[in-house]
Structure 1
Amino acid sequence: MKNKIKVSSLLRKLRLLHPADILRFKIERAKNKQTNKEFLKSHPDVKLPPDYLIYESHNMSYSSYFYNGKKDAAYFKSIFEKYVPLKDAAILDWGCGPGRIIRHLPDVIGNGCSYYGTDYNEKSIDWCTENLPEIHFNKNELTASLPYEDNFFEALYGVSIFTHLSEAMHHAWFDELYRVLKPGGVMMLTTQGDVYKAKLNKTERQQYETGNLVVRGDVVEGHRVYSAFQPKPFMQKLFKNVEILEHIEMPIEKDWYPQDQWVVRK
């Protein structure tokens, strides 16, 4: 792990993370070539985004993109329905990417709900708009501004979005999400919490342990290689104007580092 941290830090300093990430994408695509080919053969009616959009939002497995997206959609339903009625609700996927989760919500939730997805990746939004016509999509900018009225959504979620934003954008975007959420509405957001301390260098860990956000920049903010790590005290301060309903932490499993899940109510 220490060697990986050193290599990553060096690539970041040399501004080579983007080229390294493209190389990793090509390697992962080659590794998954046969299983992806089999998925296409057995699922001829499933519409899939371009490979890099799948990789950028999840990993390079078509099966994982589709079935884990469906699994996550069902999981979010189980969380939301504990706190808000899901009949005729408006639900937002903040940072929807190429529709990995939101494409399944109409089937998983139904109940006359309306579904909205927003993302700053124009290619993702173009693909979603063309291929998922029953869902309303919007391209947002990095700056915190959404085209929805105040108090519009009963529920919203953001999976691994704060993890790619600066401290200023944490505050700006949370304020914007708060604005569009109805009173009594619920939002679920994921962060890189305590299990990610194993990925931090000594200086970063000291900063994290003092309750401060740790940001690895030197790349374009919002991209997958721009990374932020959120200690509990930082998130608790961010959520000072909402009720924290759940803070879900899970242990590391092999090479999988699960993100923290924060469920809050306006």
Structure 2
Amino acid sequence: MPVYIYHNSAQSLWRSTRARDYVRFPRIADSRPANLPHSYRALFSQGILSTTALRALPRPVDIIVEKDSDRLYGKQIRNHVWMRQIPERSFVTIEPSVRLSTPEFTYLQMATVISLPRLASYACEIVEGYSLNQGGRSFHARPPLTNLGLLAPYLSKCAGARGVCGARKTLSYAVEGFRSPAGTSLALLLTLPARLGGYGLPTCASNHRIDLAESWERYLRTPYLPADLAWPTEMVAMEYDNIVRQRVAPPLGVTPPLRTGLFAQRSDDLRSQLLG
């Protein structure tokens, strides 16, 4: 009798350090939240809420149920009724009694409760190589959880679901390839439309490869440098520094840690000079 983890709880699990393991777990073909524990008391008698995956989750734990009569009433859980058909392979089995919404399904769920700029930031997060830690003031590296090529087809299977229109629209602002929230925040600030608080520039590329002249290649012992942000068609590249933390990240709800150290500063300065 498994529980199906949903919404904020699903987001918390995908942001945990165990997400690199979860992403490798098989996705189950049957995505109906059926065979639920028959009562709130059963969650405790079966030890479901004290499993390794759920023990550290903030309470209440968000679960999804198929109909109102399936609700489990108790202080430590919060029910969400999803009456529409859920696409196959929308959950992964992370423990015998725990099903976790996939990154794609979790993204759709978050589209119902957060603003479009924050949703765009979350889309970038799950397709890039980092996760925010609890509180959003730091982050840790991990492999991408999904990619834009999987998100778009998944949303097309959810036509009519709550939040799907905003989720689809937001994907057009997402950029793959950043390795920290600072790059994401700056890219969104520059490319989101003015009505969403951005400057309305075209979508940029992240860590764009710029080939070096032969003399610089010999000096730096590398054939190219990655530009933090680039608009290849317009032949524009941009490097950012720690000012992103103070002026860019807070409006988008992200406060990434400072890049510190002499090497990091010199690396940024050198790339800025070469790309300028």
**Same fold, TM-score > 0.5, yes or no:** no
Larger helix percent: 1
- What's the TM-score, normalizing by structure 1? 0.29
Structure with greater Cα Rg: 2
- What's the TM-score, normalizing by structure 2? 0.28
